[in-house]
Amino acid sequence: MDWTHLHLALNHVPVLGTPFLIGLLLWSWARGQLVTQRFCLWLFVVLAAASVAIKFTGDFAAEKVGAQPGFDKVLIEQHEQAADQATTGVFFMGIAAAVALFVSRRGRPAPKWSLALLALLALVTFVLMARTANFGGHIRHPEIRSVVGQAP
- At 14-47, the pLDDT tens digits run 999 999 999 999 999 999 999 999 999 999 999 9
Between 52 and 96, where is the model more confident?
Answer: 96
Q: How many domains does the chain have?
A: 1
Q: How many CB atoms lie within 10 A of CB 119?
A: 18
Say if 149 falls within a structural domain: no
62-67: average pLDDT:
72
Between 131 and 141, where is the model more confident?
Answer: 131
- Residue 147: the pLDDT is 53
- Residue 52: the pLDDT is 86
Say if 145 falls within a structural domain: no
Q: How far is CA 151 from CA 61, 75, 99, 147, in A?
A: 33, 22, 49, 8
Say if 127 falls within a structural domain: yes
Burial of 34-53, coded b for 16+ CB within 10 Å and e otherwise, reads eeebbebbebbbebbebbee
Say if 147 falls within a structural domain: no
Say if 23 falls within a structural domain: yes
Say if 150 falls within a structural domain: no
Say if 82 falls within a structural domain: yes
- Residue 4: the pLDDT is 76
**CA–CA distance, 38 with 15 (Å, rounded to integer):** 21
Would you say residue 65 has pLDDT above 90?
no
Domain region containing 124: 3-140
- Residue 82: the pLDDT is 93
- Residue 148: the pLDDT is 45
Local confidence band at 145 (pLDDT 50, 70, 90 cut-offs): low
- Residue 150: the pLDDT is 43
